[in-house]
Amino acid sequence: MRIAWVTPFHERSAIAEFSQRVTNELAKLAEVEIWTADDAPLLASELEMVGYRRGSKDLDALRHHDAVVYNMGNYLGYHGAIHGVSKKYPGVVILHDRALHHMFADMWLTGDTADPVHYIERMGFHYGAAGVQAASEYLRGVREPVWESDEDLLRFPLYEESIMNALGVVTHSQGQARQVAAGWCGPVTSLKLPCYVDVLTRADASVRPPPGERLRLLTMGHINPNKQAHRVIGLLAADPQLAARVEYRIVGPSGGFTAYSDTLQRLVAENADHLKVEIVDWVPDDELEREMAWADVFVNLRHPNIEGGSASLMKQLAFGRPVLCFDSGSFGEMPPGVAISVPTGDFLAVGVALHDLVSDASWREGVGRKAREFAASCSERSYAEGVLSLVEQARTASPALRVLDLVSHELGDLNVDGRLPVFHDIAHDFARILDV
Amino acid sequence: MASTFVPFVEGGARIIVRDLAKAIRDRGHEVDIVELPFVSAWDEMLEQMLAIRLIDVSSSSDALIAIRTPSYLLRHPNKRLWFIHHHRGAYDLWGTPWQDIPETPEGLAVRSAIIAADNQYLPEAQRIFTNSQVVSDRLRHFNDLDSEVLYPPLGSPELFSRGQAEDYLFYPSRILGHKRQLLVVEAAAQLKTDARVVIAGVPDDPNQLSVLEEEIARGGLEERVELIPRWISEEEKAELMARSLGVLYVPFLEDSYGYVTLEAFHAHKPVITCSNSGGPLEIIEDGVNGLVAAPDPGSVAAAMDTLRSDPEAAAAMGERAHQTLQMKAINWDHVVSRLLG
Amino acid sequence: MRVAIVNNQAPFVRGGAELLAEWLHQKLEEYGHEAEIVRIPFQWNPPERIIDHMLAARLVRLANIDRVVAFKFPAYYVPHEDKVLWLLHQFRQAYDLWGTPFQGIPDTSAGCRIRNAIVGADRRHLTEVKRIYTNSKIVGHRLRLYSEIDSEPLYPPLLDSGPYHCEAYEDYFFMPSRINALKRQYMAVEAMAKVSGATKLVIAGPPDTPGDLAQLMDVVHEHELESRVEVIPRWISDDEKLRLLAGARGVIYIPLGEDSYGYVTLEAFHARKPVITLADSDGTHELVRDGRNGRIAVRAQGLADAIDELAGDRALAERWGQTALETISELDISWDRVVRCLTA
C-alpha cells in the first residue's frame, strides 16, 4: 500500500517528531512518502519527502497513493496548509488535539483572507444557535475569545471542521473517539500515543539522585491554570503535616499567562517559610530530563482536560515513577494500576493520595514499575499497525463516504433544504446496500 | 420499457429493446422507452444507481419491463425484468482478466454494494425473465433467485429464408478474440473434403484481423477461406447464409445463443458450435439440428467435412433447426404474452 | 463532434420539445456530427418528486460525449464540462406561474422550500454552462428577470421548409392548431360573425377533448356560420396542410400567452402568408410585425377588422406575405445558424 503522510516536519514541532518516529515504523509495513509544507530546518528521514505548497497542481500526485494520512493539530502555522489539502484530497485525519479552535480562529479571523462572517457561519453550522452566539459576541467585543476558555473549548472544539470529508479518523483517547463517532459516520479509532524507544532508553539510563527526606513532586510543561499547580500549593499550605514531607518543583514556561505566573510566584513567596516549593522557567530537554529523573512523583493534574492524547504523560510513564492525575480524557483510559488517578476535580482525594504516596514506598515502586511497562507497550510499532488497520478500514469505507459526500454536495448546490424528504429517501436506499 | 445504454455504443441490448418495443406495439399496446445513459466504471457506479432509484416512472404506465442492468432499480409496482446479464465484472468475471473492479479495499466495497443492490432490488420485480439458461443459472447461483428463460427472437426473421446449399460454411460475427474465427481458419487447414469457409464481420479488434490474415497466408488457405472484414448488410448476410451448407458459431463461453444461431435456424441451416461455446448449446443438439465439436481445429474440421460430405443429412438437420424455433417458442407472440402476462 | 441532445421525458408524451430533439438530431447528423438523444424522466407530482429528479439529473454520467445541448429543467442539470442550453423552459411553476392558479407547487412551507431549491439551483447551475440560447425572447426575458442570467434567442426552424409554397391568395383564412380553449378558435369564429365580406375560415386540428369540439361547434351554430366556417376536427396530413396553406389569404393564430412564435406562424411565413394574431398571444410577436407582415389585433373587434382588411385587399396580402418570407431570413431562422451556434 502506498501512503502519503502529510505532516509538519519542522524541527520544532512535536508532531513532526511523532511523524518521524511513526513513519519509520510504518515504512516497514507499507510504502510511505512524507509530505510537508514546512521550510527548513526539517527533521531527518530516510523516506521519500515531498515538499508542497497549498494550491499547487503537484498535489494531484496525492491521487497516486492508495491512502493519504493528515496530521492535524491546533497551530495554524503548521496545520493550516494541511487542512486545505485535506479538503480536496480526502484521507485519514489524525487528531492530535481535542480542540482545533485556535487554529481555525486564526485561519478565519486573521491575515488577508480574514472572514469573520465565515467564522460565525461555521460555528453555527457545527453548534447551532449557541455557536453563533459565542462567535458573534466575541466579534462584538462582549465576550472573551472561545479559545481562551477551557470550558468553551470543550463545547466548541471545532475538530468537526477538519474531518468533514475525511475517510477515517484517528484520535488519541477513547473518549474523543466516542465523541467523534457520535457525530461522524466513517471509521474511527483511538490509538495510544507512542512512547518513543529512545525516550525509554534515556529514561532507563538516567541517574536518579539518592532519596532524600522529602518526597519529590514535579509538575512540568506549559505552566497555566489548567495544570492546577496553584491548587496543589494551596493544598500543601493547608496541610502542614504533608507539606513538611514533600518538596514540589514546578518546571516550565508560562508564556501568555504572565498574570498567572505572577500569582504562582506570590503564592510561593507567601508560603516560603513553611513550604518547600520552587518555580523554574523553561529548561532545555536534557535538563528537563534531569528534573524528571530527580522526581519521585509526577503531579499531572489537568482540569478540564482539553487534550487528546498526552505525549508528556508517556514520557513521564517511561521514567517509571507514579503519575498522580485526574481520571478524565486519556488519563482515565490507562489500565488499572499504571497511574494514580483520582476523580476529576477532587482535590481532597489528591491530598489523600499524596499522603499515601509519602508513606508507602513499596506501593510507589509498584506503580512506577507498571508505568514503565505500560510505556514500553505503547510503541511506535503498535501505533503504526493501528494506523494501517484504520487506513484499511477507511479504504473499504471510502466508496460509501465519497458518494455520501458527493450527494450532500449536490443537494447543497441544488439549494435543497435539509427538511425535505429526499434525504430520508436516499438514506433509506443507501442503508440497504452500503456498509456504513 | 427501461434499459441503460452507453452513448454511441450499439450493444445487443439496444437491439432487443427496439425489437421488443415494436413487437409490443404491433400487438396493440402503447410503449415508451426509458433509456438511461450509463457508465460502467466501478468508481461511478454508486451515484448512478442512486439516480435510477430516484427516478419515478411509476405513475404513467401500467407495467414496466426493465432490460439492461441496472435499469431494474427503477421503482414500479408492476415490474418485470427481461434480465440480459449482471454487471458481470462483479460476478462470473470476478477473478478473470475481464474483472473490471480492482481488488482493492475500495473495489471490494463497491463490488459488495453492487451485489447487495441486486439482492435487495431484483426481488422487487413481479416476474424475472432471462434471455438464456446461463443467465438464469447465474441468478440462482449468485442471487438465489428463480427466473424463466425467454429466448429473444429475431427482429426481422422474414429476411432469412431457405436457399440452395453450395459448398461453404458461413461464419458471420464481429472479428474478436473470443469469437474464435482463428479456430475456424486453423480448422480449414485440416479439411479433408473440398468444403470452403466464408468469414464475415467488422474487425472490432484489428490485431485479431491481422492474426487471421497471417494464419491464412501461412497455411496457403487463400482458396479455402474467404475473409470479408467489414460490416455486411442484413441482406448480404441473409444471401450468404441461404447459399451456405451450414453456419459456424464457435465463440468462447457466451451467455446466450447469439443472433447468428437464430438467423441460421430461420434459414433452415444446421449450426456447428463448440462444446465450450456456452449459450448456443442451449438450442443446438449434436446431430439433430447441428454439430457440437470439441474446441480444436481437427474436430471443427471434421464437423465441416460431415456436412460437406452428406448434404442430405445437412439439409435434414437444417429442417430440424427450423423446427427448433417452434419447439422452443422463440417468437414474439410468446415473448410478449409472457412478459405482459 | 459527438453531441448529446438532453431533454426531459414524460412517458408517452410527445410534444414540441420531443420533435425538436428529433429534428436537431437529424440535422446535426446531416451536418456531419454524431448525435444521440438522451431523455431523462421527469415527474413533478407530488412536488417532492421534483427534488428527486433534480438530484437524479446531477448524478447522471455521460460517456463519449463532447458537447451537451440541453433543453429544459431539470434535464439541463446533467453534469458535463461542455454544456450549451437551447432553453425551451425553466420550471415556470416556480417563476412566472408562482402566485397564479397554475403554480402547481402548494403554498406550504415544504412547497416554498421546493420552490427555493429550484430558484437557487437554476442560479447556481445555469451560470456554469458555456452558453445559453433560448427559443424565444420571452424565455430569455424570464431568465434574466428571475435568474439574472443572459442568453441569446435561437429560433427553431421547421424540419424541412422546402414544401411550403404559395399558389394564390383565395378567399379564405386558415387556422391550423389543436382545438382547445387556449388556442381560442372560438374567438376567430366570433370575429367571423362581425366580418363584412363573404370570406371563409377553415379550422383544422384535433380537439384535445370532445368537449372542446362541442364548445367550438356551439359558437359556429350560435352565429349561424355553418356555411362560412369549415371545421376539420382531426390531424390533417402534411399534404392537406400544405395545400390549405398554399391557397389561403392569410393565417389566423391567436393562442393565449404563448412563450414562442409557434410553428404555425413559421409555416405561414414560409408559405408567404400574412398572419393575424392578438396582442395577448405574446410569442407570435417575435415574428409578426403589425402592418408589415401581419396584424396584431387588440380585441375581438380588431380581429374582425384585420380579417376584413386582408379579405378586401388581395395585393396587401401579397405584399405582407412577401415581407413575411423576408422576416425569416432577416432573423436567420435556419439550421445553418442553429447547428453553428450549438456546435461552436
Residue A83 burial class via C-beta count within 10 angstroms: exposed 0-12, middle 13-18, buried 19 and up = buried
- What's phi and psi for A126, nearest 5 deg? -85, -30
CA distances to A254, A329, C250, C319 from A304, in Å: 18, 9, 89, 93
pLDDT at B229 over 70: yes
- What's phi and psi for A312, nearest 5 deg? -70, -35
Which one, of A89, A135, A90, A97, lies nearest residue A116 by Cα? Answer: A135
Question: How close, in Å, is residue B4 to chain A by CA atoms?
Answer: 20
**Test mutation, A65, A390, A429, A430, chain B, max B CBs within 10 A:** A429
Average pLDDT over residues C317-329: 97
Which one, of C17, C23, C2, lies nearest residue B7 by Cα? Answer: C2
**Would you place residue C170 in the very low, low, confident or very high pLDDT band (cuts 50, 70, 90)?**
very high
Using a CB-CB cut-off of 8 Å, the residues of chain B touching A397 are 109
For cell 456546435, the residue is C343
pLDDT at A57: 72
Cα–Cα distance measured from residue A191 to residue A25, given in angstroms and rounded to the nearest whole number: 15
pLDDT at A313: 92
For cell 459576541, the residue is A137
pLDDT at B267 over 70: yes
Report domain extents, chain A: 2-100+157-194+381-433, 197-378
Which one, of B72, B119, B116, B112, lies nearest residue B94 by Cα? Answer: B112
Work out the number of other CB atoms within 10 angstroms of the CB of residue B15. Answer: 14
Amino acid at B243: R
Where helices occur in A59-140 by DSSP H, the ranges are: 76-88, 101-109, 116-140
Kindly determine whether residue B6 and residue C49, on different chains, have CB atoms separated by under 8 Å. no
Which one, of A2, A6, A203, lies nearest residue A88 by Cα? Answer: A6
pLDDT at A222: 87
Residues 6+ apart with CB under 8 A from A74: A96, A97, A99, A100, A101, A102, A103
Cα–Cα distance measured from residue B67 to residue B279, given in angstroms and rounded to the nearest whole number: 18
CATH architecture, domain A197-378: 3-Layer(aba) Sandwich (3.40)
Cα–Cα distance measured from residue B92 to residue A121, given in angstroms and rounded to the nearest whole number: 51
Using a CB-CB cut-off of 8 Å, the residues of chain B touching A399 are 43, 46, 106, 109-110, 113
In b/e form, how buried is each residue of B83-93, taking b as 16+ CB within 10 angstroms? bbbbbbbbbbe
Chains that touch A (3 or more CB pairs under 8 A): B, C
Out of A399, A425, A434, closest to residue B106 by CB: A399
Cα–Cα distance measured from residue B318 to residue B269, given in angstroms and rounded to the nearest whole number: 4
Q: Average pLDDT of each block of 10 consecutive residues along chain A (436 residues)?
A: 96 92 97 94 94 83 96 90 93 95 94 92 95 95 90 93 95 94 95 93 93 93 90 94 95 87 92 92 92 96 79 92 92 93 94 95 95 95 97 95 93 92 90 82
Contact C43, A415 (CB under 8 A): no
Kindly determine whether residue C125 and residue A419, on different chains, have CB atoms separated by under 8 Å. no
pLDDT at A436: 63
CA angle (B133, B138, B140) in 5-degree steps = 95
Residue B301 burial class via C-beta count within 10 angstroms: exposed 0-12, middle 13-18, buried 19 and up = buried
Enumerate domains of chain B plus CATH numbers: 2-150 (no CATH), 157-327 (3.40.50.2000)
Out of C48, C110, C117, closest to residue A414 by CB: C117
pLDDT at B301: 97
What is the share, in percent, of chain B residues with pLDDT greater than 70? 100
For cell 463517532, the residue is A181
Percent helix, strand, coil in chain B, to 5, is 45, 15, 40
Cell numbers at residue A1, please? 500500500
Domain C2-154 fold: Rossmann fold (3.40.50)
Work out the number of other CB atoms within 10 angstroms of the CB of residue A302. Answer: 21
pLDDT tens-place string over residues B52-72: 999 999 988 999 999 999 999
Using a CB-CB cut-off of 8 Å, the residues of chain A touching C51 are 414, 416, 420, 422
Residues 6+ apart with CB under 8 A from B51: B36, C55, C56, C57, C59, C60
Average pLDDT value for chain B: 95
Kindly determine whether residue B50 and residue A403, on different chains, have CB atoms separated by under 8 Å. yes
Helical pair C109-126 and C137-147, crossing angle rounded to 10 deg: 110
For cell 504533608, the residue is A242
Using a CB-CB cut-off of 8 Å, the residues of chain C touching B32 are 9, 11-12
Using a CB-CB cut-off of 8 Å, the residues of chain B touching A430 are 50
* CATH 3.40.50.720, applies to C172-330: no
CA atoms A347, A353, A359, A361: torsion sign:
negative
CATH architecture, domain A2-100+157-194+381-433: 3-Layer(aba) Sandwich (3.40)
Contact C272, C253 (CB under 8 A): no
CA atoms C300, C305, C308, C314: torsion sign:
negative
- Collect all residues from B whose CB is shorter than 8 A from any CB in A: 43, 46-47, 49-50, 53-54, 104-106, 108-110, 112-113, 116-117, 120
Question: How close, in Å, is residue C18 to chain A by CA atoms?
Answer: 26
pLDDT at A91: 97
Cell numbers at residue A294, please? 530527580
Cell numbers at residue A235, please? 493544598
**Would you place residue B10 in the very low, low, confident or very high pLDDT band (cuts 50, 70, 90)?**
confident
Using a CB-CB cut-off of 8 Å, the residues of chain A touching C43 are none
Average pLDDT over residues B175-201: 96
pLDDT at C69: 98
Q: What is the predicted ipTM?
A: 0.88
What is the share, in percent, of chain B residues with pLDDT greater than 90? 92
Cα–Cα distance measured from residue A260 to residue A154, given in angstroms and rounded to the nearest whole number: 21
Out of C48, C59, C121, closest to residue A415 by CB: C121
Which one, of C249, C265, C280, lies nearest residue C331 by Cα? Answer: C265
**Test mutation, A415, A423, A425, A426, chain C, max C CBs within 10 A:** A415
pLDDT at B231: 93
Which one, of C292, C291, C252, lies nearest residue C275 by Cα? Answer: C252
Could you tell me where in chain C the CATH 3.40.50.2000 domains are found? Answer: 172-330
